[in-house]
Amino acid sequence: MVKKAPIFVALDTPDLKQAIAIANDVKSFVTGIKVGPIFFSKNSIDKVSKFSEMNLKVFVDNKIHDITSTVEKTLNGINSQPVDYFTIHTASGLKTLSRAKEVAAGFSRPIKLLGVTVLTNLDSSSSLDEIGIKHNMEEQIKQLASLAQKSKLDGIICDGKNIQNAKQAFRGEIFVPGVRLDRDKMHDQNPSRSLTPKAALKNGATYLVCGREVCVGNPKDNIQKIVNSLN
């Protein structure tokens, strides 16, 4: 059996047939798929079983950011579903993160919680200041990674440039989105925070998250190019 690459493919489409087709194209090459608000705008949570049946890990990236009771109820809504990873904003605070971990520990099947640090379209020079954050990017990511560590989350979401910075405060899995073979094609991602897939893994990423880089055009050809670039 061919070893699968440490990659999750983001299926950012509400079209279930299209999502299944892409998953079929990439299932032999990658660890899993990621689905989030775009997918769930037209699909219920039980539809993720379509991907787990392909022997793909399922990463639900709803990035919940809410009060403790709402986070708890949201998590209980996915109990027993074939979900392997679920995201919550670390800015929700230590109390909420810790309670989320307690709730997940009681699930009927194992699930790992990932803390979102700073979204990859933001930059330290202007975007953080706009939302009232006075730390620079490195300080803010380290602070949020520390919250994830204190609340015993299983992993965090972090840009490629800040992996080592985050590792100073966090010892779990690190998922890195926004990686690109061609860094001139960043779409709405911030190029100053991006690395190539190979560089991100070398820098300490546990898993990579690839969306448009795979799904636009021919998914099977695209994922093979990315996997080949890791050698």
Q: Which residues are catalytic?
A: 63
Residue 197 CA to residue 200 CA, distance in Å, equals 5
Of the candidates 45, 60, 48, the one whose C-alpha atom is nearest the C-alpha of residue 23 is 48
- Rg (alpha carbons) of the chain, rounded to whole number: 17
Task: Please report, for residues 31, 106, 204, the alpha-carbon distance to residue 88 in angstroms, rounded to integers and kept in the order given.
Answer: 21, 17, 22
On the CB side of 83, CA atoms within 13 Å amount to 28
Q: What is the dihedral of CA 156, 159, 162, 163, to 10 degrees?
A: 50
Count how many residues are written for the chain: 231
Residue 25 CA to residue 157 CA, distance in Å, equals 25
Q: Any residues with CB less than 8 A from the CB of 53 and at least 6 apart, and which?
A: none
Long-range contacts of 106-109 (CB under 8 A, 24+ apart): 107/79, 107/80, 108/79, 108/80, 109/80, 109/82
